Chain A
Amino acid sequence: MQENTLSRPAALPQLPKSPTGIEGLDEITEGGLPKGRPTLICGSAGCGKTLMGIEFLVRGIQEFDEPGVLMAFEETGEELAANVASLGFDLKDLQERKMLRVDHVHVDRSEIEETGEYDLEGLFIRLGYAIDSIGAKRVVLDTIESLFSGFPNQGVLRSEIRRLFRWLKDRGVTTVITAERGDGTLTRQGLEEYVSDCVILLDNRVIDQITTRRLRIVKYRGSTHGTNEYPYLITEDGISVLPVTSLRLEHEVSNNIVSSGIPALDEMFGRRGFYQGSSVLITGTAGTAKTTLASAFAEKICQQGQRCLFFAFEESPQQLIRNMGSVGIDLQTHVRENRLRIEASRPTLNGLEQHLVTLHRLVKEFRPDAVVIDPITNLITVGNVSEVRSMLTRLIDFLKVSGITAFFTALVNGGAGRAEMTEEGVSSLVDTWISVRDLEGIGERNRGLSILKSRGMAHSNQVREFIVTDHGIELLDVVLGPTGIVTGAGRLTQQLEEHAQTLAVQQEAERRDRELERRRRMLEANIANLRTEFESVEEELRQISTHEQSRQQALTTGKQRITAANPPAQTAPTPESGQ
Chain B
Amino acid sequence: MEPEPFPDFLDPTPADNGPEYVLHLYITGATVNSTRAVRNIKDICEQYLKGRYELLIVDIFQQPELAQQEDLIGVPTLIKLKPGLVRRLVGDLSDRERVLKALGLNAADGAPGHE
Contacts and interface: CB of A to CB of B under 8 A. Distances in A.
A305 B67 CA distance: 64
Interface in A356-407: none
A512 interface: no
Given A111-B87, A113-B88, A122 B95 contact: no
Contact of B64 (A114, A129, A150): A129
Interface in A113-137: 113-123, 125-126, 128-130
Contacts of A123: 72-73
B102 A129 contact: no
Interface string B26-52: 101001010011001000000000000
Nearest to A123: B73
Contact of B68 (A108, A117, A119, A130): A130
Contact of A118 (B1, B33, B99): B33
A115 B33 contact: no
A113 B102 CA distance: 8
Given A112-B88, A125-B28, A119 B75 contact: yes
Given A113-B87, A114-B98, A115-B99, A106 B71 contact: yes
B74 interface: yes
Nearest to A115: B91
A125 B67 contact: yes
Contacts of B31: 119, 121
Contacts, number: 101
B57 to A, nearest CB: 15
Contacts of B106: none
B74 A120 contact: yes
B68 A103 contact: yes
Contacts of A111: 1, 87-88
- The size class of the interface chain A forms with chain B is 20 to 34
Given A107-B73, A122-B26, A117 B64 contact: no
A121 B28 contact: yes
Nearest to B71: A106
B67 A112 contact: no
A115 B72 contact: no
A463 interface: no
B30 to A, nearest CB: 12
Interface string B52-83: 00000000110011011001111111100000
Contacts of B75: 118-122, 125
B107 interface: no
Given A117-B33, A117-B94, A122 B89 contact: no
- The size class of the interface chain B forms with chain A is 20 to 34
B90 to A, nearest CB: 5
Point out which of B40, B64, B78, B90 has the most chain A C-beta atoms below 10 A from its C-beta: B90
Interface in A401-443: none
A115 B98 contact: yes
A255 to B, nearest CB: 63
B75 to A, nearest CB: 4
A81 interface: no
Point out which of B60, B68, B71 has the most chain A C-beta atoms below 10 A from its C-beta: B68
A147 B73 contact: yes
Point out which of A106, A122, A126 has the most chain B C-beta atoms below 10 A from its C-beta: A122
Nearest to A156: B74
A112 B102 CA distance: 10
A116 B95 contact: yes
B98 A129 contact: no
A116 B102 contact: no
A371 B84 CA distance: 70
A129 B72 CA distance: 13
Contacts of B37: 116
A121 B87 CA distance: 19
A244 interface: no
Nearest to B40: A116
A194 interface: no
A478 interface: no
A220 interface: no
Contacts of B78: 115
B71 A105 contact: yes
A126 B65 CA distance: 7
A151 interface: yes
B72 A122 contact: yes
A117 B65 contact: no
A122 B91 CA distance: 12
A106 B64 CA distance: 17
Contacts of A151: 73-74, 90
Contact of A113 (B64, B65, B92, B98): B98
A555 B87 CA distance: 185
Interface string A93-107: 000000000010111
A111 B90 CA distance: 10
Contact of A122 (B65, B67, B92, B93): B67
Contacts of A114: 90-91, 95, 98
A105 B73 contact: yes
Nearest to B70: A122
Contacts of A119: 31, 33, 74-75
B86 to A, nearest CB: 8
Given A112-B74, A151-B74, A118 B68 contact: no
5 residue pairs, one from A and one from B, having the closest CB atoms: A122-B72, A116-B91, A129-B64, A115-B91, A116-B94
Interface of B: 1, 26, 28, 31, 33, 36-37, 40, 60-61, 64-65, 67-68, 71-78, 87-95, 98-99, 102
7 contacts: A113-B102, A115-B93, A117-B36, A118-B74, A119-B75, A122-B26, A122-B74
Given A111-B1, A147-B73, 4 more contacts: A110-B1, A113-B91, A114-B95, A115-B95
